[in-house]
Amino acid sequence: MANTANEKNFFADVCKNFDSAAQFTAHPEGLLTQIKACNSVYRFQFPIRRGNGFEVIDAWRVEHSQHMNPTKGGIRYSDMVNEDEVMALAALMTYKCAIVNVPFGGAKGGICINPKNYTIGELENITRRYTTELIKKNFIGPGIDVPAPDYGTGEREMSWIADTYMTMNPGQLDALGCVTGKPIALHGIRGRKEATGRGVAYAIRECVSVAEDMAKIGLKAGLGDKRVIVQGLGNVGYHSAKFLAEFGATIVGLCEFEGAIYNENGFNIDEVFAHRKLTGSILGFPGAVEFKNSMEGLEQPCDILVPAALENQLTVENIRNIKAKIIAEGANGPTTPEAEEIFTEMRGIIIPDMYCNAGGVTVSYFEWLKNLSHVAFGRMENRYAENSNRNLINTLESLTGKSIPAEHRLMIVKGASELELVNSGLEDTMIHSYHEIRETLLSKAGVKTLRTAAFVGSIDKIAVSYMNLGVWP
């Protein structure tokens, strides 16, 4: 993958996209400037003991906007993390939450380490110290700022954060709501891990379901005949591929650090995943054409490309070689504004990151609600619903004299589980938001891309919040 995160001005790119959209709104210049600004940037360093000596760790937490509280966003562990990147990602979180109507401001954290170079004990030390530094400055808390997983972090790191926070805030009733993406055993929520990828798949399914939009780019409606290339086999890429295949698409290409593989007949994602786990590489997978240069994998024939790794992957250098008609941004910021302009001229559609990968934060919101209410979704009503449904069926059967087949009975009677409720809330959110964005695209003269339309909707919502707060007259 292109390792260009440090060479680009990512925050400026986000602001550029913001400005392109702001011209289609009627808000005063000062308010737009306030929305765009990163309100709080906390940069800190701390030492950890390593080997016989010490190492100084660089870390950040950025709260982009407090128009809603708490602020929300993941924590990234990568040796490419820098202040500009964390600011850009925090800003994207603000717009993302607004699009999917999740009542949070945006934030992001980052620690400049390659987690592969540290032992589990060292990672635990780093995570706990990072959390302590956030507590000292009031940069974490269920009503202040709520981190989550991002690139290089997962459930393990979230449980260390939760444990450190609870230790430092004994007796705080809502303490578990200080972080999301926790394991189930620590009051996480079912479906959070796969939520971003599942959301990406819903977003794509929704986009390709509109026959008239597909006709414009020479495609048929539906996922059944779609060939997909996915970049990144991490949590987002893996689950995007898995659910897209489940919805009927064919995964023809996969790209990772070590190279890319392609097979026009399609891959079983779990087989490729198992092969990589065993051999340490996707290369060597039976029956696939291979590319040692991973970026070549993105340029192979397909209908949909899902960059689900890092920012700045699709640039003026390679965008003209992309065969896909649809780019669905599983990652944050994978396409530069210049590349998007060219791709739009090529009559391609980009499903923008701030909507496309918003499934993660949507389910984080559900987890936070679960933590604040101290009860799992469905726990109170599940059995009640089952009993009511059973009574209804029994009554119908006795009134009509007919009996309902056992498998139908089971389906009708069953109350919803936490996972079913989470997935249905996520699906509803992704469907609703897609059509909201598309509506703006169709109704605002001059708006040419889904990204600009998404920004317009988002800016409008944030502006209303500022006005309701009385911050703006």
**Catalytic residue ranges:** 108
**Stretch of 271-279, 353-361, 370-378, 414-422 lying at the interface with ligand GLU (CB under 6 A):** 353-361
Q: Which of residues 165-224 bind ligand GLU (CB under 6 A)?
A: 180
In whole angstroms, the minimum distance from the beta carbon of 76 to ligand GLU comes to: 8
Query: What type of residue sits at position 150?
Result: D
Is 332 a residue that touches ligand GLU (CB under 6 A)? Answer: yes
Angstrom distance (rounded) from CA 341 to CA 324: 15
**Stretch of 3-11, 38-46, 71-79, 122-130 lying at the interface with ligand GLU (CB under 6 A):** 71-79
- Count CB neighbours of 387 within 10 A: 12
Is 356 a residue that touches ligand GLU (CB under 6 A)? Answer: no
In a 3-state reduction of DSSP, which class is residue 105? Answer: strand
Terminal Cα-to-Cα distance of the chain (whole angstroms): 47
Q: 281 among the known binding-site residues?
A: no
Q: Which of residues 392-451 bind ligand GLU (CB under 6 A)?
A: none
- Count CB neighbours of 443 within 10 A: 10
In whole angstroms, the minimum distance from the beta carbon of 77 to ligand GLU comes to: 12
Q: 16 among the known binding-site residues?
A: no
**Stretch of 66-74, 211-219, 393-401, 432-440 lying at the interface with ligand GLU (CB under 6 A):** 66-74
Check whether the bond before 301 is cis (ω within 30° of 0). no
Is 348 a residue that touches ligand GLU (CB under 6 A)? Answer: no
In whole angstroms, the minimum distance from the beta carbon of 378 to ligand GLU comes to: 21
Residue of 8, 36, 64, 72 interacting with ligand GLU (CB under 6 A): 72
In whole angstroms, the minimum distance from the beta carbon of 271 to ligand GLU comes to: 27
State how far Cα 130 lies from the chain centre. 23
Q: 72 among the known binding-site residues?
A: yes
**Stretch of 336-344, 356-364, 376-384, 424-432 lying at the interface with ligand GLU (CB under 6 A):** 356-364
In whole angstroms, the minimum distance from the beta carbon of 357 to ligand GLU comes to: 6
Angstrom distance (rounded) from CA 163 to CA 140: 13
Q: Which of residues 122-161 bind ligand GLU (CB under 6 A)?
A: 148, 150
Q: 96 among the known binding-site residues?
A: yes
**Stretch of 69-77, 158-166, 278-286, 400-408 lying at the interface with ligand GLU (CB under 6 A):** 69-77
Query: What type of residue sits at position 51?
Result: G
Is 237 a residue that touches ligand GLU (CB under 6 A)? Answer: no
Contacts of 466 (CB under 8 A, 6+ apart): 31, 34, 35, 67, 472
Sheet containing 289-291, strands listed edge to edge, beginning at the edge strand earlier in sequence: 289-291, 259-262, 250-256, 227-231, 304-307, 326-328, 349-351
How buried is 337 (Cβ within 10 angstroms: 0-12 exposed, 13-18 middle, 19+ buried)? middle
Residue of 17, 65, 263, 364 interacting with ligand GLU (CB under 6 A): 364
Residue of 70, 74, 105, 237 interacting with ligand GLU (CB under 6 A): 74
Q: 465 among the known binding-site residues?
A: no
Is 71 a residue that touches ligand GLU (CB under 6 A)? Answer: no
Closer CB to ligand GLU, 8 or 72, in the complex: 72
Closer CB to ligand GLU, 266 or 425, in the complex: 425
Query: Cα angle vertex 360, ends 184, 458, to 5°?
Result: 145
Tokens matching residue 191 = 């479906």
Cα–Cα separations (whole angstroms), residue 380 to 192, 374, 375, 417: 21, 12, 8, 11
Closer CB to ligand GLU, 300 or 433, in the complex: 433
Is 361 a residue that touches ligand GLU (CB under 6 A)? Answer: yes
Share of the chain residues as helix, strand and coil, in percent rounded to the nearest 5: 50, 15, 35
Angstrom distance (rounded) from CA 129 to CA 151: 19
Residues at the contact surface with ligand GLU, assessed by CB under 6 A? 72-74, 148, 150, 180, 332, 357, 360-361, 364
Provide the annotated binding site: 72, 96, 196, 235, 364
